[in-house]
Amino acid sequence: MTILDCNVSNCMYNADKKCSKNNILVEGREASMPHETCCSSFREQSSGSARNAVSQPKTTLDVQCKAMNCTFNGEGICHADHIGINGVNACVVAETECASFRCKQQH
């Protein structure tokens, strides 16, 4: 389980800068930089929709990861203790990113 801070304020799952989902998926199979990744679990909070009032922010959650070049990716699971998802004004998945991505080749 990973501690996740979410700065994607426009995501319907964002609850006090934490994710209210039990798990997320980080995409970016060929990524070598954080901006080449994204949180494919992102769903835009539209003006007419309400956030799920039943869901509470999770302090830890499972993070599936398809960023094969990330040093924290172990068989498709993120093994970082703490990650951040960025994309303050995101409207689509591609405008989000895993800010904690670290390329294996950079060591």
pLDDT tens across 50-95, in order? 555 546 788 788 999 999 999 999 999 999 999 999 998 899 999 9
pLDDT at 104 over 70: yes
pTM for this prediction: 0.87
Range of the domain at 96: 3-106
Q: How much is the average pLDDT of 35-48?
A: 90
pLDDT at 107 over 50: no
Tokens of 88: 């303050």
pLDDT value of residue 59: 79
Contacts of 70 (CB under 8 A, 6+ apart): 28, 31, 37, 78, 98, 101, 102, 103, 104
Strand stretches in the chain, DSSP E: 3-6, 14-15, 18-19, 23-27, 38-39, 62-65, 73-74, 77-78, 82-86, 97-98
Total number of domains in the chain: 1
pLDDT at 10 over 90: yes
Closest CA to 4 of 107, 98, 105: 98
